[in-house]
Structure 1
Amino acid sequence: MSIRSGRRVADALRTAGVDVTVHDVDADLVPALADTRPDLVWPLLHGASGEDGSVRDVLELLNLPSVGTGPRASRIAWSKPIAKTSVTRAGLATPEFVTLPQSLFRELGANRILDAVVAKLGLPLVVKPSRGGSALGVTLVQSPEDLPRAMVACFAYSDTALIERAVQGTEVAVSVVELDGEPVALPAVEVVTEGPYDYDARYNPGRTEYFAPARLSPELADKAAEVAVAAHRALGLRHLSRTDLIIDGDGQPWFLEVNVAPGMTETSLFPQAAEAGGHDLPTLYRRIVEDALGTR
């Protein structure tokens, strides 16, 4: 997906008249960057090193400006418990949750801990890695008997599990882009799946249907936009982001997580949102680059 995102953005920027070179993240990257000294780097690597701030740390070491959130804010956003705590302090709603490291989970006894989790948070629950993307290791738990299996699946991807109360409602992704330095929400994209929006649902055709813009009333669409922009500001994000929300039956948007490196493939949510908002992608991507360079 990272390669597809990179090629799609590169093609769009070339269409907009920008000189672009694409590099993979390998042993040749740092020498290439040091030799060519590009005016700007747009990291489009998904997953840990692309979203946890480490690649952006390297760019700072090389004194190269980049599109997107800086390394310190990326690390905060990459950690779901820290991000949820940060947006809560900013007044946003997020489902109640607990975090359990695998070591503590084993030391204290799995059954007793899981009984306490169900007693405290109720059912259904969502179990997910505290850090990670693409919904890897994420399980919707409907009954207590399913919880141990969900924990095992989660620990395959992370040494710490985040367990949160599952909110029933409409799942939407709200992308934010900074235009002239001000974060602006693009139209929400509604995600409809049979079962949880897990890795299989995201990347295998047929299980997921998208509506861009989301089928929301104007009032709910405005609420979702306000939450995404508030999360973008509260977490110190930059240039672009995507916030995942659930809107419950009472019209309350619940913050789930944020992505500092949204997918940019032809089926990704950020491009869908941009096109739903009437944006020409080459023009929008060039504008993001120009804003990052401080030339607008």
Structure 2
Amino acid sequence: MIDPNLLIAVLMGGPGSERDVSLASGAAVVKALQGRGLKAVGVDVTDHEVNLPEGTGLAFNVIHGTFGEDGQLQDILEAKGIPYTGAGAASSRRAFDKNKAKVRFLAHQVPTPLSEIVDVSNGPALPEMPAPFVVKPPREGSSVGVHIVRDQADAQAAMEDAAKYGNDILVEQFIQGKELTVGIFDDQALPIVHIAPRSGFYDMANKYPWLSGGAGSDYFCPADLDEETTQAVQKAALAAHRSLGIEIYSRVDVLLDADNQPFVLEANTIPGMTETSLMPKSAAAAGIPFDDLCIRIAEISLKLRA
């Protein structure tokens, strides 16, 4: 049980590209905690400084992407001696950097697409891998700067755009198949969510149509998969979570090919936390309502970092 007098600062916003989504997550978490009688306040983080209310006993981190999800915020909170929710500094850095995560996946036999890292620090460069492939900036969230290259003639433009975000671009084998995501909570895999974009792939526009005016996506949870495939996907997702050493919870993105083989793409350590976000959908299908999920994240985090 959480002491009702404990001040919980819900950190939201942040300086990155996912600021608006984070503000929505933060508002939902504050509402859920307050609705259960807890002393929760929202804190809008606008830059790389964190000014916590006096007496803060727990920082509930829902800053997605840059700063909140890459270890920077965790380092600051640890220096302040403030317990916080979710992944620690080291595991956040591993998970946020797709290149580092790929190394861990391979070392722990997590099924993941073939890949290469293309160094563009000395100018434009193309991958050795033939099309089709996927170009990804390694340290951006929500599909920022991601391109599916189906024709070799489009490779240069995709690489140049990805180079805006860093010099070590991840290029992955393109896997045609179902887009799935698996919530991991307290070292257990939750029911699978099947993501069905209404057009294209699951990019920023289809994730957040209310921000971009995109076509959006449909979601099915639990995903309509046979038991053997369900277990294979959940096993791969849990293996990815564990390989990165992520504490408490995450959401792992998986592609399922035509032969029902899962391929892990990445693990998100600060997934969306509105009542309609994918991690809460997954938890709800396991019988964990949104407010219970928020409280249990807080309880486990306090126990880990008290």
**TM-score for both structures, normalised by structure 1:** 0.89
Residue type at the aligned position of 2:72: S
The amino acid across from 2:194 in the alignment is: E
Say which is worse superposed, 161-170 or 149-158, in terms of deviation.
Answer: 149-158
The question of whether the paired residues in 2 share the 8 Å contact of 1:23 and 1:29 is answered with: no
Which structure exhibits the higher relative contact order, with contacts defined as CA atoms closer than 8 Å and separated by 6 or more residues?
Answer: 1
Identity of aligned residues (%): 37
Instruction: Spell out the pairing of 1:24-43 with structure 2 (5 A cutoff).
Output: 24-26=44-46, 30-33=50-53, 35-36=54-55, 38-43=56-61
For residue 98 of structure 1, the aligned residue among 110, 116, 138 is 116
CA shift, 1:166, in A, is: 0.5
Q: 1:160 aligns with which of 153, 168, 185?
A: 168
**Which runs of structure 2 are paired with 1:1-296 in the superposition (5 Å)?**
1-26=21-46, 30-33=50-53, 35-36=54-55, 38-106=56-124, 110=125, 113-114=126-127, 117=128, 121-178=129-186, 183-193=187-197, 194-204=199-209, 206-294=215-303
Deviations 1:124-150 (A, max 9, x none): 110010111010100111000011111
Q: What is the number of equivalent residue pairs in this alignment?
A: 279
Question: In structure 1, what is the equivalent of residue 9 of structure 2?
Answer: none
Q: For residues 206 and 198 of structure 1, what CA distance do their matches in structure 2 show?
A: 11
Q: 1:105 to 1:14 in 2, by over 3 A?
A: same
> Is there any run of 5+ residues in structure 2 with no aligned partner, and where?
1-20
Cα distance per residue 1:187-234 (max 9 Å; x no partner): 111111221211112112533211111121121111111111111111
Taking structure 1 as reference, are residues 31 and 195 closer, same or farther at Cα in structure 2, changes over 3 Å only? closer
1:10-64 per-position Cα deviation (integer Å, ceiling 9, x unaligned): 111122222111111147964434x22x221111111210111000100000011
- Structure 1 gaps, min length 5: none
* 1:131 alignment partner AA: R
RMSD: 1.8
Q: Does the C-alpha gap of structure 1 residues 145 and 27 become closer, same or farther in structure 2, counting only changes over 3 Å?
A: closer
Between 55-64 and 157-166, the greater mean CA deviation after superposition: 157-166
Moved more, 266-275 or 231-240: 266-275
The offset of 1:105, in angstroms, is: 4.4
Q: Deviations over 1:146-202 (max 9, x none)?
A: 111111221223333111101111110111111xxxx11111111112212111121
Q: Which amino acid aligns with 1:102?
A: V
Tell which deviates more after alignment, 282-291 or 203-212.
203-212
Letter in 2 for 1:197: Y
Relative distance call for 1:249 and 1:283 in structure 2 (3 A) is same
Asked if structure 2 preserves the Cα contact closer than 8 Å seen for 1:169 and 1:246, the reply is: yes
Q: Which amino acid aligns with 2:203?
A: D
**Which one has a larger percent helix, Structure 1 or Structure 2?**
1
Q: Secondary structure at the match of 2:58?
A: coil
Q: Distance in 1 between matches of 2:51 and 2:157?
A: 45
Tell me by how many angstroms 1:104 deviates.
3.6
After TM superposition, the score normalised by the length of structure 2 is 0.86
Structure 2 Cα separation of the partners of residues 287 and 257 of structure 1: 24
Give the distance between the partners of 1:7 and 1:252, measured in 2 at CA.
Answer: 38
